[in-house]
Structure 1
């Protein structure tokens, strides 16, 4: 064994570090608390995340030396609720001795107590612990068990689910144990310290795994359920397959949805709903044309009324005014001797030019204007020109053809040409018609357009009134509506192209696919936060699962199996064979073999020697199966060194007298160093236990339970057939008779009659037992096999008066035990007569037991 244990240190060094720490703690304190498990779980998580500092744990093999065994004793069960039909008002107490028999008829609650104990102690094959099936109420399940451990009184309140760890070593045998060892395979419960250590460590792994599961369960998915119709899209398939490898780039790809996507979605919906795409395309083209015209006009008028053009117009205007002023000054100088006003003015100039035209086209076609030849006339008044008149006309012509006047005319023409560069702006009515035709969607934009052209018109009007560049009004800003209108125009053109494409080909399915894709992307974008959270949750769960994988008990189970090959199987088989021999069943050719190791538990099963293809159930009789299962149970639990109690539920069922006595003798032997509790409905077993216990100078505690109006399991007096005659007789005289007498005195005659009849019936039983135990000196007794021949010599003290007394009592009271004819009703004895008879029996017993038998001559 030392070689086997020596390899453990190296083996443990290869285990996860958190498990090594847990192993060291188990060696120091035997059992880990819930707080310890929580701390170890945290270490497991840290190691998985690479955050646990590396430490070295030295494994001390010497820790597995045999320790001092502990003692355990059960005292009572009380406050039982919701367990089968159990409803005791008094606690079920197990006495002060080492062997206790709990007797009760069928249906009195024995099996209910055993099932309850199995659940409290965590026995194998727990089964379902039903509530009272005849009570439809939702009673909770609970019970309180009192016990003593290593001299310390303790109690545990069981609440229907928990197991009392302090009582986990209690061995419980019932019919299910027979099925476990004889019909199938099961785990033996005795283990050497090193294997117990492995069992504890495996339990720690399981607790850590459960703690990790509990942690994982706290992170429930908040991922929204995607609509069914969206699952088949590429985006839906991606959403359904989100996992720990999903990146932020993946999420951006599938969960981004902006205003352009919304516009595309609306467009696709419109395209899909349009029944005449070609006509729709024409409408969009016209709408686009109106918008383009409006934008072009706006840009044109902006250019015409730009600061640069306005400055050019003002410059031309100033030049024209300047030249005109200079010409007028020159004219005044030239015509200063004129007799009429306005010579040289515009009106005059117009008249002069008209006269020139008339002269050249009608009066003097061949003569240059003005005609100042001899006898020439004035083309206006037709009078012959004097020399002075001729000279004046020539001076007028020279003025008109002069440079000053020509410059003034050129400047005026230049100003007029500059003014013509600003076209007439459309009136508000025309603008509104264009806006409506363009179907500009927002009223705000339409207002901006009207305000824009109004500002342009105002700028143009102001331009006619100013004479300097400094007075040019502020330029009209290039409003956002123009940029928006251009963008809108472009989108209309693109949409028109799509409608034209729709008209040429049947692409509705493609449109539907694109539309579905946009819908699901919009849905995904709305749940982006939940998707980010789900990916983080999955990553966290993956870390927890990675940690849980390190709690796998396979390596521990295999190692324990290796150790069990050396430390358990042979010793257990030897104990099993020894138990078969003690129970008188050594002729049964059975053997115990190890079948497998599961989660650190070493599983064994029984086989027939030479009949490998057949099971014990098929070959052995019912009684043989029972005795084999008892041997297996005793071999299993007797190897423990903790002195834990054994509990048996009707162990002799199906056993013959020989096996029954062998089992009882074994129980008496086991009671020498541990508590034995036997539940039974057999008076024969109770009598046999008392007989064999007496031979060992042991007095068993006998507890009786019965069915009451309120339920089963109620503690009661032990049966008269098994109780002490003296004690029972005193009870009849001092308690029950007094109750009957009091009822009579109170006038409750009906209740008194019931009590008196019950006393008469029980008194008859005591008379019968007195004949067996006292008159015949206990030579032969019912429910017991032995015949005590050595007591025959005591019969020598028997006298006829003894027989007459007991015969008279049997005759008088047998009527209360056996049926009587209806025409001969049993007349109840008076209370005084009944008391006199009971006192007579009491006095006789005391005298008879003191009487000595006469000496017989040899």
Structure 2
């Protein structure tokens, strides 16, 4: 947009958008003083800022998209001067841009360090803390204090120590809550010990029955059973032999023996208390049939008693008693109702515990029920192992005992605060366990940030800046000050008694400031006029930027504001001189500057580009035609005839007469301006021109070709079209010429200019 020539003038009236372009360039190029770049302040809401900039560098067309922030690295060498630069050097101190080649290495190294540091900061910012905020009441616990002090040094072992929370810890929390809620701790202790007693009893019974039905005990029972059977078989064989001639069957059998023992008991306890059994004395009777015993009966009874008291029969009897005794070591197991009552009495609130206990006793009962069918050790079922519920019950019994002791302690002393602290500590550990993942992530984040900080320390530029400052103090100051003095002299401002002095060196930067030479005070703003301040700031700007080794463009925003004619011409000539080496872009609203640039550029055989901007319905900065007072007459006249006249003609043909009239009035007004300029440039040969200071006296000789008909033509055109530029009475308005007449007049001016230019002197 701003041209490809050595120097470009961007012209526009106030409010046309020139300053907006300059502000945008300052942001994109990274200027010292970047003003705020606003969106359309007349529209509500915040719009997204975006600009696409195309430029040519070393013959290559490039582009950069700016999205509200950031600097284009390829344009950061572009220097920009505007009103804000008056604060630099003049009202404050500032670092120079110029650096000798020997310092470029230090600057590049510092820049690289700063970029690395910035990248490290950006990386650190990408890892914000997600550490959960712990409730205030938990922060006072040892676990809470540890949590608040988490750092990159925190170890996994330390995290485990404070964050592991087990089921026993949860039980402890419930216990502490119960202790705090208990109003009668002594009674609670008694209740717990009673529960413990029921648990212990249940365990003892289980262990007792487990011992009674153990393989060892079953083997003893089997052995006694085998012995009893063996002895009985031998006794029965002996009885059969003794009573083989008996009148009745079954003598010596178990039934008969029972009958015999019953008769014995009856005889010694009732019938014949003081007489041994059987009573075979004179007159004795049978205790069963009560008949008087005969001699044969007496002998039979005596033989029966001898049999019963015989060794084999005694052995059989002893074996039977032994078997009965051993068998009685297995007691009757509790019924299901009794067992349920015992389990409930333990107050262990777990259905699984009850089912396991019930299942265990059922296994014991089944083993006992199988015992009568077992005749050998090989037939003994697999042994029952001590069940796990016994261990759990014992552990619960122990915990009940410990808890009862704590309730006893609670009853004896007021330790509620201590309980509360312990409870809060456990609850804090539970909270930590619930946020274990976040804690691990936070420690990992802190370790990463620590590594980033260590890396960032290596980017510290203090030593580099110090060395650069030492060299810069020697290498920059004298040459920089010399350039400033040269610029002041070139502007013809030597009478302004100012000097540029070094103030200090900071971080490798040499800072300078302007001050009055030999004056007691250094405030230039209080002494210099506005124009002097402006010319001094321009001199300081050029002294700064011309010392660079690059060929980047210079941008000037209204550089001649507040300057008189002499300073204005001096600045323009300096800019044209600079345009031989660098592209110069000047933004201005003054036609005089545009004319002055053209005048001095022509002397140096330089043709400046002129760009015009204006405000439009969408905003400001719209490209616009060059003002007629500064545009080429021939080009402007062709535009009127070939474009704008045709637009008006088309509007009439389409029946839009109101638009056609507006367009024709605009054409008449601009045509009148072109006639006026033709008088200055053609008729009077450009001897004197508006917005330009010089008088071209050498062109007076060309006036010899002037004729009366020339004056009459231009006078008639000026008279005819001036009526549209001046107020007219309403009762006698100036009528608009017909479109064909307007076209004819424009053609006549064009033809006259071509003929007049070729006319010989």
Give TM-score scaled by structure 1 length: 0.77
Match of 2:501 in 1: 593
Q: How does 1:169-188 map to 2 (within 5 A)?
A: 169-188=77-96
Pair 1:378 & 2:284 matched: yes
Match of 2:344 in 1: 436
Pair 1:279 & 2:279 matched: no
CA distance in structure 2 between the aligned counterparts of 1:558 and 1:650, rounded to whole angstroms: 38
* Structure 2 CA distance for partners of 1:697 and 1:389, relative to 1, 3 Å: closer
Q: In the alignment, which of 469, 492, 498 is matched to residue 584 of structure 1?
A: 492
Match of 2:171 in 1: 263
Pair 1:661 & 2:573 matched: no
Pair 1:142 & 2:54 matched: no
How far did 1:250 drift?
0.4
How far did 1:563 drift?
2.0
Pair 1:702 & 2:614 matched: no
Say whether the 8 Å CA contact 2:472–2:509 is kept in structure 1: no
* Structure 2 CA distance for partners of 1:491 and 1:795, relative to 1, 3 Å: same
* Structure 2 CA distance for partners of 1:611 and 1:282, relative to 1, 3 Å: farther
Helix, strand or coil at the partner of 2:555: strand
Pair 1:158 & 2:65 matched: yes
Helix, strand or coil at the partner of 1:816: coil
Helix, strand or coil at the partner of 2:89: helix
Q: In the alignment, which of 463, 484, 498 is matched to residue 406 of structure 2?
A: 498
Say whether the 8 Å CA contact 1:313–1:415 is kept in structure 2: yes
Helix, strand or coil at the partner of 1:603: strand
Q: Deviations over 1:167-213 (max 9, x none)?
A: 33322211121122322233322222232333333222233233334
CA distance in structure 2 between the aligned counterparts of 1:300 and 1:588, rounded to whole angstroms: 120
Match of 1:547 in 2: 455
How far did 1:839 drift?
6.1
CA distance in structure 1 between the aligned counterparts of 2:111 and 2:405, rounded to whole angstroms: 73
CA distance in structure 1 between the aligned counterparts of 2:73 and 2:514, rounded to whole angstroms: 29
Q: Deviations over 1:108-129 (max 9, x none)?
A: 2222232233334333323222
* Structure 2 CA distance for partners of 1:612 and 1:503, relative to 1, 3 Å: farther
Q: In the alignment, which of 717, 722, 725 is matched to residue 817 of structure 1?
A: 725
CA distance in structure 1 between the aligned counterparts of 2:553 and 2:224, rounded to whole angstroms: 127
Helix, strand or coil at the partner of 1:183: coil
Q: Deviations over 1:61-90 (max 9, x none)?
A: xxxxxxxxxxxxxxxx3xxxxxxxxxxxxx
CA distance in structure 1 between the aligned counterparts of 2:62 and 2:444, rounded to whole angstroms: 47
Q: Which moved more, 1:528-537 or 1:392-401?
A: 392-401
CA distance in structure 2 between the aligned counterparts of 1:166 and 1:467, rounded to whole angstroms: 106
CA distance in structure 2 between the aligned counterparts of 1:425 and 1:692, rounded to whole angstroms: 128
* Structure 2 CA distance for partners of 1:464 and 1:175, relative to 1, 3 Å: same
Match of 1:522 in 2: 430
Say whether the 8 Å CA contact 1:143–1:158 is kept in structure 2: yes
Q: How does 1:595-744 map to 2 (within 5 A)?
A: 595-597=503-505, 600-611=508-519, 613-725=521-633, 728-729=636-637, 732=640, 736=644
Residue ranges of structure 1 left out of the alignment (5+ in a row): 1-76, 78-92, 854-858
Helix, strand or coil at the partner of 1:673: coil
Helix, strand or coil at the partner of 1:652: coil
Higher RCO (Cα < 8 Å, 6 or more apart): 2
* Structure 2 CA distance for partners of 1:291 and 1:724, relative to 1, 3 Å: closer
* Structure 2 CA distance for partners of 1:677 and 1:271, relative to 1, 3 Å: same
CA distance in structure 2 between the aligned counterparts of 1:835 and 1:250, rounded to whole angstroms: 96
CA distance in structure 2 between the aligned counterparts of 1:275 and 1:251, rounded to whole angstroms: 37
Q: How does 1:390-429 map to 2 (within 5 A)?
A: 403-404=311-312, 406-429=314-337
Say whether the 8 Å CA contact 1:195–1:560 is kept in structure 2: yes
Match of 2:260 in 1: 348
Match of 1:45 in 2: none
Q: Deviations over 1:582-610 (max 9, x none)?
A: 11112222222334455554433222234
Match of 1:856 in 2: none
How far did 1:435 drift?
2.1
* Structure 2 CA distance for partners of 1:605 and 1:319, relative to 1, 3 Å: same
Q: Deviations over 1:601-658 (max 9, x none)?
A: 4433222234465422233221111111100111112223333322211111011222
CA distance in structure 2 between the aligned counterparts of 1:320 and 1:741, rounded to whole angstroms: 145
Q: Which moved more, 1:547-556 or 1:347-356?
A: 347-356
Say whether the 8 Å CA contact 1:358–1:379 is kept in structure 2: no
Say whether the 8 Å CA contact 2:94–2:513 is kept in structure 1: yes
Q: Which moved more, 1:843-852 or 1:409-418?
A: 843-852
Say whether the 8 Å CA contact 1:131–1:141 is kept in structure 2: no
Say whether the 8 Å CA contact 1:377–1:383 is kept in structure 2: no
CA distance in structure 1 between the aligned counterparts of 2:643 and 2:364, rounded to whole angstroms: 126
How far did 1:491 drift?
2.1
CA distance in structure 2 between the aligned counterparts of 1:497 and 1:169, rounded to whole angstroms: 84
Q: Which moved more, 1:650-659 or 1:178-187?
A: 178-187
Match of 1:168 in 2: 76
Say whether the 8 Å CA contact 1:102–1:678 is kept in structure 2: yes
Say whether the 8 Å CA contact 1:281–1:497 is kept in structure 2: yes
Q: Deviations over 1:719-770 (max 9, x none)?
A: 3333444554565566655665666677665444434433433343344444
CA distance in structure 1 between the aligned counterparts of 2:239 and 2:65, rounded to whole angstroms: 134
Residue ranges of structure 2 left out of the alignment (5+ in a row): none
Helix, strand or coil at the partner of 2:586: strand
Pair 1:510 & 2:510 matched: no
Q: Deviations over 1:1-21 (max 9, x none)?
A: xxxxxxxxxxxxxxxxxxxxx
Helix, strand or coil at the partner of 1:290: helix
Q: Which moved more, 1:334-343 or 1:757-766?
A: 334-343
* Structure 2 CA distance for partners of 1:141 and 1:369, relative to 1, 3 Å: closer
How far did 1:702 drift?
3.0
How far did 1:660 drift?
1.4
How far did 1:842 drift?
5.9
Helix, strand or coil at the partner of 2:80: strand
How far did 1:156 drift?
1.4
Q: In the alignment, which of 353, 376, 379 is matched to residue 445 of structure 1?
A: 353
Say whether the 8 Å CA contact 2:89–2:540 is kept in structure 1: yes
Q: Provide the alpha-carbon RMSD of the alignment.
A: 3.9
* Structure 2 CA distance for partners of 1:547 and 1:469, relative to 1, 3 Å: closer
Helix, strand or coil at the partner of 1:181: coil
Say whether the 8 Å CA contact 1:202–1:599 is kept in structure 2: no
How far did 1:434 drift?
1.7
CA distance in structure 2 between the aligned counterparts of 1:440 and 1:107, rounded to whole angstroms: 89
Q: Which moved more, 1:743-752 or 1:386-395?
A: 386-395
Say whether the 8 Å CA contact 2:272–2:279 is kept in structure 1: no
Give TM-score scaled by structure 2 length: 0.86
Helix, strand or coil at the partner of 1:606: strand
How far did 1:406 drift?
4.9
* Structure 2 CA distance for partners of 1:457 and 1:136, relative to 1, 3 Å: closer
CA distance in structure 1 between the aligned counterparts of 2:599 and 2:4, rounded to whole angstroms: 18
Match of 2:735 in 1: 827
* Structure 2 CA distance for partners of 1:126 and 1:378, relative to 1, 3 Å: same
